[in-house]
Structure 1
Amino acid sequence: MGSSTLSSIPLIDLSKSMVPGTEAWRRTCEKMREAGERLGCFMVAGYDMPAGLVEDAFGAARQLFDLPTETKRRNTSHKPYCGYEGRTEVIPLFESLGIEDVDQPEAALRFTNLMWPEGNQSFCKVINRFGQELLTLGNLIQRMILESYGLEALVRSHIDESHCIMRLMNYEAAAADGSNSSPAVGLCNHTDKNWLTVLCQQGVEGLQVESKQRGDWAHVPFIPSTFVVIIGDSLMAWSNGRLHSPTHRVMVFDKERFSIGLFSTPKDGAIIKVPEQLVDDGHALLFNPFNFSDFLYYFSTTGVKLSESAIHVFAGSHD
């Protein structure tokens, strides 16, 4: 399989388009929609993140992953992908912890006290603030995508039907001999199941996104002060297949890798339904309405072949 150049991942500058209704805003909305439809992944720059917050967040992540494994395993959840994951035979180099509703101070405090019963005020404050910022950015991006389709009236209800999960992720180095010639799979091929993912990397690359035509992998570069945006299956289905939910993976080399992702996700029990404005003579209905929680349970408990798309199998319209 081929590997495309770094420039194949669009980079969209938000710094001159933060005023809704302006020509710069409209052009940026169109760029997001085009990138979401073509590749399902793009990068954004120019978001006004508080100084030092990204560095503080990764410092907090290192504190977390330095804890004993038995401590990290306290992070349990009956919901898929909301607790501790990793160190399995399939993904032995990967370890991850999820924090639901991290933008809410009480949720951040509950997680902090679970990991540090004696308390860790610095960790709690940083992770809560970083979650709020990433959620704000994710909501902004979703607003701009919806507006690009002329669906401004649906923005508020779309955001109200959402919540967030932060995942702090760590990838152990694949080799200790200094060789970069033998990468290992850090995280297997997958699509995200949520609305939208905003991912923050720290220095070490490894994320790869497969082209819409399949077989060609684009390496996502690390560029300071940028964030990676990935369309999820739920937003793809909601858009009636206009947006693309890309298959992606993480390859690791001889350096440890950290990343932090904010997953904007439909609330428990939310029904995802294609807006009638996105169904017309040129765009037949591709997805039936479905319950997000049911879809997530189906995916996590049913063996879906790599050649199949879980969302198409679960909710695809066959009329």
Structure 2
Amino acid sequence: MENKVLPLTCLDLANFDLHQSAVSLKQACMDCGFFYVINHGISEELKEEVFEQSKKFFDLPLEDKMKALRNETHRGYSPALEQNQIHGDYNKESFFMGTEGLKDDSLGAKPFYRPNIWPDSDVLPGWRTTMENYHLELLRVCKAIARILALALDLDADYFDTSEMLENPIAYMRLLHYEGMSDPSRGIYGCGSHTDHGMMTLLATDGVMGLQICKDKDMKPQKWEYVPSIDGAYIVNLGDVLERWSNGLFKSTLHRVLANGQDRYSIPFFLSPSHDCLIECLPTCQSEKNLPKYPAIKCSAYLTQRYKESHRETRASPENRPK
């Protein structure tokens, strides 16, 4: 069951009534874990430049893209064939980059803060600077959303603004290029069904429809609904970390991408708390009648565990194998 277009809540970061924003955001997070954010302060000029630079990279000959092939920490280019083998996704290539630790910074020794792989600056001048500037802007917006999420969870607005949580976050950006045609009946997807592992994801697309969500993963048959792009807005979804933090109150929702024969470009930004942050039930989300549902775990250990699990799931799941 699919093809319905789903209306979502709009979070306005220019709204000075934070209580009103928190109330509407809480309902959206409990309902489906997806919403739009508007008046975020990211210029359309920067966004357009990022998409233009993304297309320039994916338009390069394969031999040039392979010079930026991903390293052992998965930063860099992943060709379509590799995506098929690892993720169970089809007709998708990507480029992955994230937060880097400074050379004299202890964070630089941790896997989630290792150096990025970059395309040759002679081939794509200005490419790295554009991506780094956009990464900083997306991080700023996510931190603003986190303040309203804290209020929605009956916490102080600055609850997540600590070195243990979002001062040194694990933050990845992924450039994606889809092409070809998906066929769910044969297990062929642009991106197979999954939940995101971190705290939240901020998504920009080129407007080509493709993203679908399933609000109730246990429903048989599953009901899939399209999430359209809105001019000037970003799509935001919650990840597994926030579901654990909220003791299941907020949803990390199953979603996927169907390619429709058009080239489709999108850029998700994945935010997680710092490497050593302990993910445990928030104080406002538990009581004697509502005990913590998940064991406490360090963020880096949880992300590593979920990454390994998702790879096993996509290799084993019939949904992710063409018939």
TM-score bracket, shorter-length normalisation: 0.7 to 0.9
Partner Cα separation in structure 2 for residue 70 and residue 195 of structure 1: 35
Q: CA RMSD in A?
A: 2.8
Q: Which residue of 1 aligns with 2:320?
A: none
Whether 1:226 and 2:219 are equivalent positions in the alignment is no
Kept in 2, the 8 Å contact 1:102–1:165? The answer is no
Partner Cα separation in structure 1 for residue 289 and residue 232 of structure 2: 39
Deviation at 1:67, TM superposition (A): 2.5
Equivalence map 1:1-80=2 (5 Å): 1-7=1-7, 9-15=8-14, 17=15, 19=16, 24-73=17-66, 74-79=68-73
Q: Which residue of 1 aligns with 2:203?
A: 199
Structure 2 unaligned spans of 5+? 103-107, 109-114, 315-323
Partner Cα separation in structure 1 for residue 101 and residue 41 of structure 2: 17
| 269 and 159 in structure 1: CA distance in 2 versus 1, 3 angstrom threshold | closer
Kept in 1, the 8 Å contact 2:90–2:191? The answer is no
Q: Which residue of 2 aligns with 1:280?
A: 287
Percent of aligned positions that are identical: 23
Task: Write the letter of the residue equivalent to 2:9.
Answer: P
Q: Which residue of 2 aligns with 1:315?
A: none
Runs of 4+ in 1 over 6 A off after TM superposition: none
Deviation at 1:246, TM superposition (A): 0.4
3-state SS of 2:161 partner? helix
3-state SS of 1:115 partner? coil
Q: 2:174 aligns with which of 152, 167, 176?
A: 167
Deviation at 1:29, TM superposition (A): 1.6
Equivalence map 1:253-292=2 (5 Å): 253-292=260-299
Structure-2-length-normalised TM-score: 0.80
Task: Write the letter of the residue equivalent to 1:143.
Answer: R
Deviation at 1:34, TM superposition (A): 1.3
Partner Cα separation in structure 2 for residue 159 and residue 136 of structure 1: 11
Structure-1-length-normalised TM-score: 0.81
Whether 1:235 and 2:238 are equivalent positions in the alignment is no
Kept in 1, the 8 Å contact 2:245–2:282? The answer is yes
Deviation at 1:76, TM superposition (A): 2.3
| 195 and 224 in structure 1: CA distance in 2 versus 1, 3 angstrom threshold | same
Aligned length: 288
Question: After superposition, what is the alpha-carbon deviation per residue over 1:11-70, rounded to whole angstroms, capped at 9, x for unaligned?
Answer: 33333x1x4xxxx22111221121111101111222222241111110011112123334
